[in-house]
Chain A
Amino acid sequence: MSDPVTGIITPVRLEYTYTPGVAASRFLKRIASKEIVGQKCPRCAKVYVPPRGSCPKCGVPTEEEVTVADSGTVTTFCIVNIPFAGSVPVPYVSAHILLDGSDIPLVGLLQEVAAEDVRMGMRVKAVWVPDEELAPTLLSIKYFTPTGEPDVPIEKIMEYRDA
């Protein structure tokens, strides 16, 4: 007689059509040419990346488009120690990165740096995929890596720390 059944594997699969909306679509199309664009609020002047077409604080449409840098500052980060299917080798760092010229951090993967060396205030820049692989997706940015510039003092990023 063979062994009793003690466990099962149930595959979960969800297929859906995602549309990011007009503002974020423009952002994604520019990503394919290595340009990162945000939108500036006409009232509070904050720059949102990726843009969503409106300012969540002021509740007004954001129409002015601004190009921001592909370098920025780590405002906060998380060291990931538990691997999952498709993850990069652990430990690795997932960071909030405030791109120069923007007012809201993006979540990005940090590479080419040991997890214990990552700091709030660390300067980083995007590493893009080869030109022939560029596409309208954030996957066009392979990861971020330290620039070696001096850290930004913590006081200067306090406003963005919890964003």
Chain B
Amino acid sequence: MAEETEALSALHVLEYNYTRSVGPVIGRFLTGLRDGELLGIKSSSGKVIFPPVEYDPETAETLIEFAPVGPAGVVTTWAWVSQPRAKHPLQKPFAFALIKPDGADTAILHAVDAGSEEAMKTGMRVRPRWRKERVGFITDIECFEPEP
């Protein structure tokens, strides 16, 4: 009898909110996003690390000197997402890219809304598309878009 040998199957959802304090450096970075600006931090050797980190990756010194960067920058590498999933930043084909804002020495991972894969190029210039209602979260940048 089919009823006796068929295995059941069900959709399970595991979901919870993870609440964390962000500390003074990431806090300042997120506050900047809310205010519509990108902030990096100066390392001991004078490089600007973006997004900012609390300690120097080479000397472990505490870093305190923030530096505005961008907000426009260049794509240093990217991957095309042709079929976005429900939780992806854009619900149409887009690129995940590392973007190095002008004045920064490191890059941030974000989405680029280029319209098509052919429009993506390493070295292309992009600028943030800010969300209208910003809360102090990485999604305050909706995505980056090609500079006209």
Residues of A participating in the B interface, judged by any CB pair closer than 8 Å: 2, 4-22, 25-26, 28-29, 85, 136
Q: Contacts of B4 on A, CB cut-off 8 Å?
A: 26
Main secondary structure of the interface of B (DSSP, over half): mixed
Q: Contacts of A7 on B, CB cut-off 8 Å?
A: 19-22
Residues of B participating in the A interface, judged by any CB pair closer than 8 Å: 3-22, 27-28, 30-31, 34, 87, 136-137
Q: Contacts of A85 on B, CB cut-off 8 Å?
A: 16
Query: A18 contacts B7, CB within 8 Å?
Result: no
Query: A15 contacts B11, CB within 8 Å?
Result: yes
Residue among B10, B11, B34 having the largest count of chain A Cβ atoms under 10 Å: B10
**CB < 8 Å neighbour of B21 from A6, A10, A18, A20:** A6
Query: A29 contacts B8, CB within 8 Å?
Result: yes
Query: B18 contacts A28, CB within 8 Å?
Result: no
9 intermolecular pairs with C-beta atoms under 8 Å apart: A4-B28, A5-B27, A5-B136, A12-B15, A13-B14, A14-B15, A17-B11, A18-B9, A25-B7
Given A7-B22, A8-B22, A19–B9 Cβ distance below 8 Å?
yes
